[in-house]
Structures are given as structure tokens and as C-alpha cells.
Chain A
Amino acid sequence: MERNLLRYIWKHTRRQQVFILAIVLLSMVPYFAAFDLPKQIINGPIQGSGFETADSTALFMEFTLAVPFTDLSWSFEGFELDRMSMLMALSGVFLFLVIVNGLFKFYINTYKGRLGERLLRRIRFELVDRVLRFPPSALKQAHGAEVSTMVKDEVEPFGGFTGDAFVQPVMLGGQAAAALFFIFLQNLALGMIAFVMVAIQVGIIPKMRRRLIDLGRQRQITARHLAGKVGEIVDGIDTIHTYDTSNYERADIAHRLGHIYKIRYELYQWKFLVKFVNNFLSQLTPFLFYSIGGYFALKGSLDVGQLVAVINAYKDLPGPLKELIDWDQSRQDVQVKYEQVLEQFEHGQLVDPSLHEVKPVTPAYAGTVLAAQNLTVIDGSGAKTLDNVTLKIERGETIAIIDNAGNGGESLAESFARIVWPASGRVSLGDTDLLELPEAVSGRKISYASADSYFFHGSLKDNLLYGLKHAPTTSVTYSGEEATHRSWEIREAELAGNCAFDLNADWIDRRSTSVLRGFDDDLKQSLMRALDAVQLTPDVMELALHSYLDPEENPALAGRIVEMRHSLRETLQAEGLSNIVAHFDPATYNPEATVAENLLFAATRISSSSDGDVTESEYLFEVLEVSGLYEMLYEMGLKIADDLVEIFADLPPEHPFFQQLDRVSAEDIAKYQQLLQRMQSRTGAAITEEEARSVVRLSLHYVEPRYRFGVLTQDIMDAVVAARDKFYANLPANLRDRIERYDPHRYMAAATLRENVLFGKLSHRVADAPAKIRKIAGEIMREKGLFESFIALGLSFEVGTGGRRLTLTQRHKLSLARALVRRSDFYIFNRALPGLDRRVQEEIVKAVIDFLKEQDNDPTVIWVLSNTSLSRLFHRVIVFDRGTVAEDGSFEALDRDSGIFRSLVA
């Protein structure tokens, strides 16, 4: 990129700059014409000069235009108009000029704005493009938040500056020169004075601004670091809380803000000082005119008329001059910013753009051997992690890499994945250096997964298919308005030097999925098999069961789920297991649900944190009063309170048994105890409304099979069932959106998929009820062909930033699965499953190898193992010791002959 912003702007907007300059010059014609017009109107028709008699006329639009030094001339005789018509005509012209000027201004500003925005877009794209082409080491030190603040905020002023970059100095310089020229015309000596003053101003002010620029640079860097720090706080929030360092972070931020404040304050001081000097200098000139010019005028050596003319002409000079100096200020400002940004984006070793060319079809490449030749890799601290390693990996091998000491294996895997670049030596695929191969070859022939692979914001599915999104594989045909929009998009992208790939096209390369039999469902099969291999399917199913499905969006699936609900119920009945689930039945009380749930008889969804619990709502209590339940539940609540107090009264508040009570704390128990005592003592102290409600609330959350106090009578149950309709009759609007009544024949949007399938409560009393129901429901799901739909639902789960909504283990598995979905010749797994149970690790490693070996392209599997005993699952084992290859051979041979290996595996 250009070192100089002005040159950069000129390079990319040359033609537009000349064009807009021409337009600006053209706009000057009506602009100055409009200046002169008011005088004409006042002098002419209004004050009457030229209309001395009532019927005198004047010529309108009469002009003669002669080209100097030639005989060429044009003239127009004009229309003859009387005074009133002349007034109207001239006023009309004035209005016309106002409109024309306004339109010019509108056009020029829009044009400049557009020019700036395009340039801004170009710079931003170029910067991100550079990030994409950075060598891996460059980004290890970079702060994500700092880079993004550079791309987003620091380049922002460039856009505003672009439009004025050339037009402004030309215009203002012209105006200033013209003004100066007029002064010279009037009087040479006074002109010289003005000229010298201008020279001083132009000479001194930029010098004074040097400090300003320096401060500006500091401000930019500190602000950037602040952005980096804020990003760090967000990323490290867990660590901050766990180590109680929030105040240290506060102090850090306060210190930085103080520093920024100091810089900015100094900046203001300087800025206004410079302004003061500037104003002073520009006012000094008239002072000189008045005093010196006046002196000579009084002495008679200067004509008074001339002096007045000079002073008048001078009025036009300070304005443009000041703006010119301001322009220069902003030029220096953006130039500094530009250099600061550029500094971070200039790296000697950017990846060649040709390696990143978009290739919808994987280029044919014959290399089948992955090799390291005298490979040395140096880590961030300068230590050698790989030292002069030479080895060859053939197609079809399965290789375990284990480390005795050091991180040689990891480093090798990272070199194969091009995550680290060699310090010396090379990695080659076939005959070509890996770093010289287009990424369309290396990034598809080799799949790499490690425990710290990144996940992008989006659904699980998006992330699983991420490895297939190399290039748009289809082109979308748009019609009507969309087509216009698309062609606009392409045109604009090209004008700003952006790429114009269509994000709406299908980016998934369906020819490079791991399952490739030529059927339509290859992609789906690849996904499913990959999930199975890494044992992620149950997790995805769990996500699906917890998800909410919008039945309006997917009515067919919702209908089938309702069907499944009925089959589940029938099957349970048929197998004599109907006691596992207490189904929701509109006409009966559900003993496994709380009293409140039985009354509501609906799925409730808390859509925002401001929504309170429905059971706390005023409306519920109203319904209780009206239906006569309040009294019953109050009596029942007293009995519950009595039992609870008896059980819990003596326990210290931190006792773990309080966890047995969902909604009652030790404090509540104490309150109930006091309440009961007061009632017994009969001192007549009234029970407050709030206390009564707290007693009723105990009943509302009561489940008989769980508490077993025997207080829920048949009468109460009948009354609750009878009150259901009353509850719905006058449901207030704010509750109506959140409550969806149970209906055995409808899908409930407010309930999770699991609740929709089960449509009831699992019995508290049946041993292993969840396991039993899971087995039967699983069978029915498969029978009904719903398995894939459910998995698809689970795959639409949003993983959050960096996959943070998933557990660590799930992320590790997902990273592995993402590599498995792709078809590659080499699969490199770099300690991909740390922290997993040994047994699960073994199962997954086995399943992965089996799955990959089913591919007809006989892929190589290279696995850097943290669990060394798994090396027996591989044909070849490479043992690294302090960055060099200590052993290399088959598992059996090493197991027999190698001491190091045996000690590692044992």
C-alpha cells in the first residue's frame, strides 16, 4: 500500500477527483452570478436606476462575450422589459440560481460522500484482506480488538477526507491567491505586507501543529490499546471473577482513561493556542493596513481610495486562508492515522494473493507424499521445537505421533497444517513446498483439527460445514428488483476494489464430502456419520430436545411430533409402563405436577428477564379468590408449613438439605415458624395479606408424591381442575402471549421439544424413569423417521462466540467432526481430544480411523496423541524427543525394541 494517504487517494480516485473539481468550478458560475444579482435588483428595478421615467425599459439578459485578443465574440440583445417586469424577471433568475446552487451543492456533496465511502470500503477491505494474508506468526501477537478498532474506527476519517483531498486545496488556494492578487493590484507595497503576513502564517502555524500531530498519534495508540484492553476484559471475564481481580482491571482502565484524558486535554490546549495565534496573525494584517497605510494616507503619500480598496479586498483573504490551514491540519491528521494503521498491516511476508485465488473445483494435484525436509521450527520464545527433522508420510498410512519430551509432535502437526512456518527446511506435499501451493490445494487435501480450533458465530451446522465453504459452487439467478440490487452490488464492489462473490450462493462443496457415493444425501450422511464417530449425536439430540420449534414455521414436523406423542402414550400403555408418565389430561388432576402447574395447565415461556413467574402474578391470586380455592390452599399451606417447620426448624441455614426444597429457604422456614407460633398463641395479631399469600404459595408448589405430607385432598384436586377454565376466561394480555394451554392434539410453541413429546410429568416414584422413557421414545422416534429431523433441529443450535455455548468436550468433538465431514487425503489431529475419558478417547479414535478408511481415496491419518497407549491402533508410530525423531516404526517393532517407547506407553 502507498505510504502517503494523499497519493493513495489520488491513485484510486484520480478520475473522480478531476471530474468533481470540474463540477465545482462549473458551480462557481451560478454562485458568483447569484452574488451580483441582489445588487442589480436593488439598484435597478427597486431603487430605479435606469428606470428614471415611468415607461422606460431596460434590456434583460443582454450580454456581450468577447474572447480577448481575437475577433470572436458572442452577444445577445436581450428582452426589453419595463420596471415591474424587470423586478419579477430578476427575482425569478435569483430564485432559479438559488435552486441551481442548491442542486450543485447537493450533487457535489453526495458525490464527495460517495467517493469517500468507496475509498473507505476499499481501505477496509484491503486491510482485512491483508489480515487474511498475514503470516501466522504476525497474528500471534495481535490483539483482535485492536485490529478491529483499526479497521473500523481509525480509518473512518479517511472517508470524510477523501472528498476534500484535492478539491479543497485547489479551491481555497485559488480564492486566497485571487484575493492576494487583488490586493497587489490595488497597491504593491500593501500587497507585499499582506503577502509577508500570509507567508508567516503559512510558515509558523504548521510548525506549531507538529506537537498536535504527535499528540494525535499518542491519542490514537492509547485509544487502540484501550479497545484491546476492553476486549481482553470481555474474553477473560471468567478469570477475572475467579481470581477477584476486577478492581485491578478497574484500576487499569481508570489509569488508561486518565492517560487518554491527559493527552486529549493537552491536545485541546495546543489546538486552541494555535487557533489563537492564527487568528491573531490574520488580524495583524488589517492592523498594519490601518496604522501604516493610514499613516501614509495622512502624510499624503497614499491615496485614501486605494487604502479603502485594499482593506476591502483583504476581507476575502483570511477566510480561505484559515480553511486552507485547517485542511492542511486534517491532511496531516489523517496521514498520521494512516501511517499508524499501515504500520500494523505491513508485514514483509504476506501470503501471495495468487495462493488465495477462488477455485470452485479442487485443482488436480498429483502429490501424494507429505514430507518434512530438515525442518526446524522455532516457537515464540525462540526455542527450537523441531530440530532438523526429516521424514516422509505416504498416502494411506495411519500414524501416531507421541512426544517423549518437548512439543515436537505438535509442532510437526502445526507445520503440516501451515499454522506455523518453518524457520528453516521445508514441508512439501508432492514436490512442491506446502507454502507455495495454492490454499485451494493445501487447504483441501489436508484437514487439520486440534483442541483449540475456532468456531464461528452461527449454528452447529454452519460450523460443521465450515470446512466445505471454499468457493461459491452455484450462481444464483435473481429476477426483478433483486437482480437490480445484485448488479448494483457487483458494480459497487468492483468500484471499491472488493471481491464480488455472492454470499447467497451455495458455498458448500458437495463434491468433497467424506461420504461420497453420488447420492443426494451424501452431505447429510457425512454429517451424521461424523457426529456418530465423535460421539456427538447424543449431545445434538439433547440440544434438539431442549429447543423450541415454531409450529407455524414447520407445521409438518410439528404435526408429526404430536403423532409421536400419541404413539408414545399408546406404547407405554401397551407395555404396561403407563405409570412412568403422568400425562396432561384436560379433565384430570396431574399428581406429579405442582398445584400451580395443574391450575395453569399450560406451557409458559419466559421470553425476557423482566417477565416474572406466572405463579407470582396478581391475576393468579384473583382467580384463586374467585374460584374459592384460596381458602382451601391456605388451609393446605398451613399444614405444609407445619410439616416443613417440624422437619427443618433445627437445621442451620447452610444445611444441604435445604436444597431439597426448590423454592423455600431457611429464612422462609423461620418466617413460617413465627407465623405458626403467632397463630397458636392467639394474641390476635392479624395475618397480613402478604403472609397469607406466602402460605398459599407453599400449596401452589406442592407435589404430593414428592413431599408425601398427605395434604392434597380429592376436593382440592377437583376444585383445581374446575378452576382451569376460570383461569383462562379473563387472561390479561401480558400473560396471554406467554401462556399456551396444554392441548393433547396441538404442538405447543412455548414448550420444548421434549415437553411436547412427553406431554406429561415423569413419575417421581418409578426407578430410572428417565432411562426407561428415553429408550422407548428413542425407538418410536426412529420408527417414525423423526430421528433426522430431530438431529437437524439440534444442529440449528447457535454455538455462540467461539463456540462458548458448548461445553469444552463438545467443542473438541465438534472440531474433530468438522474435519471428518470433509474429504481430504491427509487428516491431521493434533491432541484433538484432551481431557476425555480414556475409554471414550479410544472409542472415538477407533471410530474415526474406521470412518476415514471407508473413503475410497485411502487417506492418511496422522494423530498426535496425548494418550500414548492408543498408539497401538496405528500402523506407524513416531516418537519425538526434544524436537527430534527418536523412534519411527511399527507399533510392534517399537514395542519390542524401543526402551523410550515402552516407558512412554507403559
Chain B
Amino acid sequence: MKGACGAMLLREEVELLRNIPYFNRVDPCKLKLLAFASYRISYEPGDAIFMQGDFPEATFVLLSGNVRLTASSPCGRCETTHAEPNSMLGEMCLLSDQPRAMTATALTNVEALKIGRDCLLRLVSDNPRMSFEISRVLAETLRDRIGGVGKRFSQEAVL
């Protein structure tokens, strides 16, 4: 209860959103709308943010804290990666309408913005700039993968 009022405000969230590649060229006014339309949610260490195989309903912008992402394949192999503040989680599954490819678990206290599926899609369709940014990030990810240069997951695009 104490923290509720003293915590981050909308305008601070907007600043944080601007640091994310997808959004850094989007009109700040639109970002404020995005921030307003999304939910501020906090997680405790160990909370699952989403589970592999779930149908995606939202994407998350990590505002603070660390998140572990694990993907287990049917043959039992496990892949683990981490996401750090100012990164976006789970947007690719949301855009491609596929079940979650990974499970996201909070490692520390995590503050995140939960952006609803409809909300994000609407924003993308309203802003050509944004869809361009998404294509760009996607293309970069793909290029990284094909290039196989160690960096398989760029921080900003975690599949």
C-alpha cells in the first residue's frame, strides 16, 4: 500500500518506453497513451510472468528487475536466457499469434508494464512508424541468427 502512490508515474514510464528500440521513434503522446492503456504490474521473485505453451494475451515491458526465460523442447533440452530492464518480453508470439515459446520467471522483484494484445495491435496499426520498427528488429534478429554470431538473442527481441 505504501508503495502504491510513491511509485513510478505515467510520465516516468513514458521515458522508459522511449528507451526501447521499438518505441524510441514513436510520438511521445502516443507512448503516453500506450502507457496509460497498459497495466502496471509487480512480480515477486519466483512468480511466473507467462508459461511456455500459453496462448499470448499480452506483451510485457520490463521496467525494473531481472527475468529468466527458459524454453524446453520435447527432447528435454533446455535453453535459458535472461531479460533485463527496458526490454520487451513475448511480443513476437503475440504478433505471430503462436503459443508462448518460453516461460518467463521473475528472478528479483520485477516491475513491468503489461500491454494488452488488442492494445498493442491497435497501436501498431495506427503507427506505420512502429510497424516499421518491428520489421527492423525482426530483420536484425533474423540476420543475427543466420549469421550465427554468438549473439543469438538480441536483448530487445526475445522470441
Contacts and interface: CB of A to CB of B under 8 A. Distances in A.
Interface of A: 579, 582, 591-592, 643, 646-648, 650-651, 655-657, 660, 704-705, 707-710, 712, 763-768
A706 B155 CA distance: 29
Grouping DSSP codes into helix (H, G, I), strand (E, B) and loop, the B interface class, with mixed when no group exceeds half, is helix
Interface in B1-49: 1, 3-5, 7-11, 13, 29, 32-33, 35-37, 39-43, 47, 49
A765 B114 CA distance: 10
Contact of B29 (A646, A763, A766): A646
Interface of B: 1, 3-5, 7-11, 13, 29, 32-33, 35-37, 39-43, 47, 49, 114, 118-119, 122
9 residue pairs, one from A and one from B, having the closest CB atoms: A710-B9, A708-B10, A591-B4, A767-B41, A647-B33, A705-B4, A660-B37, A765-B42, A657-B37
Contacts of A764: 39-40
A765 B40 contact: yes
B49 A767 contact: yes
Contact of B1 (A579, A651, A767): A579
Contacts of B118: 656
B1 A709 contact: no
Contacts of B4: 582, 591-592, 704-705, 763, 765
Given A708-B9, A710-B9, A712-B5, A766 B36 contact: no
B29 A647 contact: yes
B129 to A, nearest CB: 15
Contacts of A768: 47
Contacts of B9: 708-710
Contact of B10 (A648, A651, A710, A765): A710
Given A579-B1, A591-B5, A705-B4, A657 B33 contact: yes
26 contacts: A582-B4, A591-B5, A643-B10, A646-B32, A647-B29, A650-B29, A656-B119, A656-B122, A657-B36, A660-B36, A705-B4, A705-B5, A705-B7, A707-B10, A708-B9, A708-B10, A708-B35, A708-B36, A708-B40, A709-B10, A763-B4, A765-B4, A765-B41, A767-B41, A767-B43, A767-B49
Contacts of A708: 8-10, 13, 35-36, 40
B1 A647 contact: no
B130 to A, nearest CB: 15
Nearest to B49: A767
Main secondary structure of the interface of A (DSSP, over half): loop
A464 B152 CA distance: 60
A707 B42 CA distance: 16
Interface-central residue, A582, A655, A656, A765, by most chain B CB under 10 Å: A765
Nearest to A769: B41
Given A705-B7, A707-B36, A764-B39, 6 more contacts: A582-B4, A591-B5, A704-B5, A710-B9, A764-B40, A767-B47
A705 B42 contact: no
Contacts of A712: 5
Contacts of B43: 767
Nearest to B38: A660
A705 B32 contact: no
A647 B47 CA distance: 32
Contacts of B7: 705
B128 to A, nearest CB: 15
B124 to A, nearest CB: 13
Contact of B40 (A592, A647, A648, A705): A705
In this complex, the member of A646, A647, A712, A764 whose beta carbon has the largest number of chain B beta carbons within 10 angstroms is A647
A767 B112 CA distance: 10
A591 B7 CA distance: 12
A582 B4 CA distance: 10
Contacts of B122: 655-657
A582 to B, nearest CB: 6
Nearest to B27: A650
Nearest to A581: B1
A766 B42 contact: yes
Contacts of B8: 708
A650 B123 CA distance: 13
A767 B113 CA distance: 11
Given A582-B1, A708-B8, A767 B33 contact: no
